[in-house]
Structure formats: C-alpha cells, structure tokens
Amino acid sequence: MSCCHYYEFTGRGDRVFSVDISAIKFGPGALSEVGADARELGLKRVALFTDRRVRNLATFETAIHSLSAAGIDFDIYDEVRVEPTDESFQAAAAYAAASRFDGFVSVGGGSVIDTCKAANLYSTYPAEFSAYVNAPLGDAQPAPGPLKPHIACPTTSGTGSECTGIAVFDFLKLRVKTGIVSRALRPTRAIIDPTCTYTLPANVVAASGFDVLSHALESYTARPYTERARPDHPAARPMSQGANPYSDIGCEKALRLTGRYLARAVADPGDQEARHNMMFAATLAGIAFGNCGVHIPHGMSYSVAGLVRDFRPAGYPREEPICPHGMSVIVNAPASFRFTGAACPQRHRDGARWLGAADVDTADHETGELLAQRVIEMMRATAMPNGIAGVGYGSDDVAQLAEGAFAQQRLLNNAPRQVAIDDLTALYTNALAYW
Ligand SMILES: [Zn+2]
C-alpha cells in the first residue's frame, strides 16, 4: 500500500473523521494567566491537583499566585501518585466528591492531569470504579454527560494528556495498565508553559520526549481511519479513529522537532530553544494521537510498566520500582516498527527521514529496520535502557508480558497489521536488547 493511497475509501469503511481538541494557550509565561482563564470560565472554587514534587517548585507558586490574584478560591490536592493506580484514582475522586468545587485545575505531568480527569468524572457522575474503565477489564460505559471545567497545565513535555480524553492507571489486582477513554475527559483548556520544563531532570526529559516520539510515530503508522468499519451512528465513532489527514500534520511536525531537539533538551537544561520546541512537539503529538490512537509500542508498554520488579531510574521517586511511561513505550518501539514496516513502508520511511535519519533511500521491505535504527540511535544518545532487558526483564518473562499486552486489544486493533499472541512473543523477544 503506497502512502498516497493510504486513505482509499472502501465499501464498509468510514469516510468521516473528526477533530476534537482542547482550547490551547502556549508560551513562556502562559501559566501566570491560569487565574484569568479560570475566571473567564466562571469558576469560583477549584480543586487544584498536583503532586508533592511539583508542589515545591516555583512553577506551582506561579499557579497559586495567579489564581489568588484572580480571586479564585482553591484547595490543593497533592496526593497524586506518579504512575497512578485504581486506588489513587479512587482516593482523588473521594476527595473531589467531599467538597464543593465548580471546576478543576491540574499542574503537573501526565499522572497529575490523568488523576484530575478521573476525579472530575467519578465525583461528577459517581459509579462503580469499573463502570468507565476500558473493556474488557471494565464496562467502558460512556460518561453520562459533560464534566466540570478542567484547566490542565502540563509541567513535562511528554504525555500530551492536556489535549486528550484518556486517563491511564495501573489496575493493581490485575497487575496491568489500562485506562478510561472518553471525549468528556478532555480538559476544557490546556495552558502550556515551556518554562515549566527548565527544572526537569535529564532522564525525565528523555523519557517524556520518547513518549512524544512514539505518539507521533504510532499515530502516523496507525491503521487508516478508512479501513475501520463505518459506525452505526456518529456517537459510536471511536476517539481512536486511526490515522487521518489531520493527525498526520501534527505527527510530521512533532517528529521533525523531536529529531532535532530531543537530544539537545536532554543534554542541556539551559537550552531553552530545545526545551520549548520539545514542549510544542508534545502538544502537537498529543492532539494527533488524541484523535488517532496509538498502537503496538503503547500496547506492549502496559505490561512492561505493570510487571516491573526492581527498576529505579534516576530522576524519579526511589521508594518503589518504576518504569516511567515513556521508557516502557520506547523499549518496544524498534521491535514494533520492524514488525509494522511492511504494512506501510512509505510511512516508516517518512518517520525515519523526519527524525533525521542520514540515508532513507532504502527498499520498501527495509523501511521498518531503517526507522528502528534511527530510534535506537536516539535512545543511545540519551541513555535510554537497552530494550526490555535494560529495565530488568529476561526471556523467561516474555510469555507473561505477551499475555498482558494481548489484553490491550483496543490498541492492537489500531495497528496497521494484525497482531496475534505469537507475534507479541516474537516482539518482546526482539525487544530484549538492541545493542
Ligand atoms: Zn504515551
């Protein structure tokens, strides 16, 4: 299938795609306007979500001063867990339900913003926890109506959570990551201030930057929206529509920026040009994947993060083992693109070129490897773990990892080719080490 024919209309395939995005305010100093934005939305008393690390940063002070100056009453919730769980989501929801708030402000990384989305949902429309959770682990019920206004202020350049209707968590009893997906969860506004990233440790910039990179690559190589069956009624069209011409635009720009600036942003905290551009890339890739959906590397990441035993990377809380989201994704990415290359070779070639691969003049059957090699080169330049062995897994773990990933059918179905359980076993084996 050539790239120009990627969106060919087929008999039963969809012909319509939609673009849903948060209102966005972007630029250095934007966070100091959060109070004015809250007032504009008619908010009087908000729940202010953050985590303990961010609470001690000047960034958080900026948000507080802005809210106070605008006369917005707020109460701070800083119990957010890095890599949230069903329990931490429910604790946040109980907090939000116990007091009268007319809106939410979140200041933090993806964990903070996702927790705030869940608290907004469950405090506005109380239900059993499993009610809104993705099938088959939960009932995947749609949010019954609109949520309260939520202004999301990201402090990392990664998840793009401020632009998506997705909240990801660890389901503790099942030892697997899953999520809640609903258009209603999308924050009302995103206030994106790149100066928030100046104090981030190098490893956090790297991990979140690879999340950006993978959002863009997975969205660009996702199954085209025209191949997904047309929905019976418009409301049934999924948010993860598949690759579409709108998402493609953001993916291209996000990949060009990531190829040029990721290594610089990691190497030098004082490189403001690089950190600003990574923040913009995160926003673009967030909008793209929010309207398209990701596929195999993210599907595989959930069990890599969920089953982690003893990995404690620099720059992250040390109390418990953790595989940060961006790392758990990127360790699967080269193996995944080797696997998907043949399904849409030109799109893999484009990805490699935009990321800055030196020579992209390869045969179609080699474009998966071409892209994999460019990603590996970038991983090595930024001290990422060498495959899943680098985060503590061995060949004995492959079967269990594959089983966990196979449960992520919503993501696997968005891949440009079918993924069987045996394929996942081969993918994890290939992902054990890259160099
Ligand atoms: Zn991600």
Per-residue pLDDT reduced to its tens digit, 54-113: 999 999 999 999 999 999 999 999 999 888 999 999 999 999 999 999 999 999 999 999
Mapping DSSP to helix (H, G, I), strand (E, B) and coil, where does residue 291 land? coil
Comparing CA positions, the residue from 413, 419, 18 lying closest to residue 244 is 18
State the distance from the centre of ligand 1 to the C-alpha of 179, rounded, in angstroms: 12
Q: What is the mean pLDDT of the chain?
A: 94
Contact in structure between 282 and 154 (CB atoms under 8 Å): yes
% of the chain with per-residue pLDDT over 70: 99
Q: How much is the pLDDT for 3?
A: 46
Contact 83, 326 (CB under 8 A): no
pLDDT higher than 50, residue 224? yes
What integer is the mean pLDDT of 175-196?
92
- The whole-number average pLDDT for the span 409-429 is 96
Question: In the prediction, which pLDDT does 178 show?
Answer: 84
Looking at the DSSP assignment, which residues form a beta bridge with residue 75? 47
What pTM value is reported for the model?
0.94
Residue 159 CA to ligand 1 center (angstroms) comes to: 5
Check whether 1 has a pLDDT greater than 80. Answer: no
Q: What would the mean pLDDT of 316-335 be, rounded to a whole number?
A: 92
Distance (Å) from CA 410 to ligand 1 centroid: 14
How far does the centroid of ligand 1 lie from the alpha carbon of residue 193, in Å? 20
Query: What integer is the mean pLDDT of 362-381?
Result: 97
Which pLDDT score, from 0 to 100, does residue 66 have? Answer: 98
Number of other CB atoms surrounding residue 207 within 10 Å: 27
Whole-number pLDDT of residue 263: 97
The mean per-residue pLDDT over the stretch 396-407 comes to 94
C-alpha 330 to ligand 1 mean position (Å)? 9
Rounded CA Rg of the chain = 20
| pLDDT given at position 2 | 41
CA of 43 to the centre of ligand 1 (A): 30
In which band, very low, low, confident or very high, does the pLDDT at 4 lie, cut at 50, 70 and 90? low
